[in-house]
Amino acid sequence: MMEIIAVFQACEGHGMCEAMAHDYFELDDDGVVQVLDAAPPESDREMVDSAVRSCPVAALRLRD
Ligand code: SF4
| CATH, residue 52 | 3.30.70.20
pTM above 0.85, yes or no: yes
Number of structural domains the chain divides into? 1
Structural domain of 50: 3-63
Kindly give the distance from the C-alpha atom of residue 44 to the centroid of ligand 1, in angstroms, as a whole number: 19
Of ligand 1's listed atoms, the one at least distance from the Cα of 12 is 3
Kindly give the distance from the C-alpha atom of residue 43 to the centroid of ligand 1, in angstroms, as a whole number: 22
pLDDT score for 57: 97
How many beta carbons lie within 10 A of that of residue 37, not counting itself? Answer: 13
Q: Tens of pLDDT along 10-59?
A: 999 999 999 999 999 999 999 999 999 999 999 999 999 999 999 999 99
51 lines ligand 1 (CB under 6 A): no
Question: Rounded distance, CA 27 to CA 42, Å?
Answer: 24
pLDDT score for 16: 96
pLDDT score for 27: 97
Element (H, E) at 53: helix 45-54
